[in-house]
Amino acid sequence: MRIDVISIFPSYFDGLTLSLLGKAQHSGILDLRVRDLRDWTHDRHRTVDDTPYGGGAGMVMKPEPWGEALDDVATSTVEATGQRPTIIFPSPAGEVFTQATARDLSTREHIVFGCGRYEGIDERVFEYAASIGEVRLISLGDYVLNGGEVATMAMIEAIGRLIPGVVGNPESLVEESHEDGLLEYPSYTKPSNWRDQPVPPVLLSGNHAAIAAWRREQQIERTRRRRPDLLPEETAL
C-alpha cells in the first residue's frame, strides 16, 4: 500500500518510522511518503493561507497549493495501480472513523491524506479532489484538533496494522476490541496472586470451553457497562 501525507508540519509524522509501521516500510509492505504543502507554493513566503471571503475569524487554506499537490501526488494512481486513489481529509465535520472504516481502507492501493490547518481548506479543493479519486471527510470523534495531522497519524496506525504482514501474528488481530463489535476481555499474566488480587480461577483451570465462555461473558458485561451504545437495542419482552 502507498500512503501520501500532505501537511505543513511533515515532522509530525517522524513517529511513524518507529516500531511496527517502521518495519513495514523497510520490508516494502508500506510505502509512506510525507510531503510539505509549502513545496507547492511559488511566492517567497511560501503562503498557504488567506482571509475568508464573507469575513469571519481566522484564515482559510488557499486552493492553489492543494491543487498542485494533488496533481503531483494522486493523478498517476489509476494508471499505476488500476484503482483510483482514496483521498482523505480529516475533519470534525466528517463521518466517524471506526474499526470497520480502518478495515475498508486497509484494502486500498493508494491513500492520500490532506491535513488541513487554520479554519479549514477552501471548499473547492474537495470538489477538485473528487475528480481525481474517492474523497472521504473523516473525523476521529466529536472534538476539535488544531489540524488534521494527529488524526492522520491515528488513522495510518489503525489502517497500517491491518495490512497483511504488518502485525506478525494475525491471530492477535481477531480478538481485539471492536473487531467483533464488543470490547476486549480482560487479560492477566503471572504472578497468579498480585497485591491481594488473584487471577480469576477459571483462567487457571485448563478448561478451554469454560475459559472461552467466561471471556465472552466478560466482553458482553464490559460492553454493557462502558459502551452500551455498541450493543443491539434491548427488545421489550
Q: Binding residues for ligand JA8, per CB under 6 A?
A: 90-92, 116-117, 120, 139-140, 143-145, 147-148, 151
CB 114 within 8 A of CB 87: yes
**CA-closest candidate to residue 149, choices 89, 74, 107:** 89
Q: What is the spatial distance between Cα 116 and Cα 110, in angstroms, rounded to a whole number?
A: 19
Write down the least CB distance from residue 188 to ligand JA8, Å. 35
Ramachandran angles phi, psi of 143, nearest 5°: -155, 160
Question: Least distance in Å: CB of 217 to ligand JA8?
Answer: 35
* Shorter beta-carbon distance to ligand JA8: residue 141 or 198: 141
Query: Which grid cell sits at 168?
Result: 506478525
Q: How far is the CB of 176 from ligand JA8 (least distance, A)?
A: 23
Q: How far is the CB of 10 from ligand JA8 (least distance, A)?
A: 16
The answer to whether 143 touches 93, Cβ cutoff 8 Å, is no
Give the nearer residue to ligand JA8 in terms of CB position, either 27 or 98: 98
Nearer of residues 91 and 223 to ligand JA8, judged by Cβ = 91
Nearer to ligand JA8, 85 or 148 (CB): 148
User: Which of 41-52 are b and which e, b meaning 16 or more Cβ less than 10 Å from the residue's Cβ?
Assistant: beeeeeebbeee
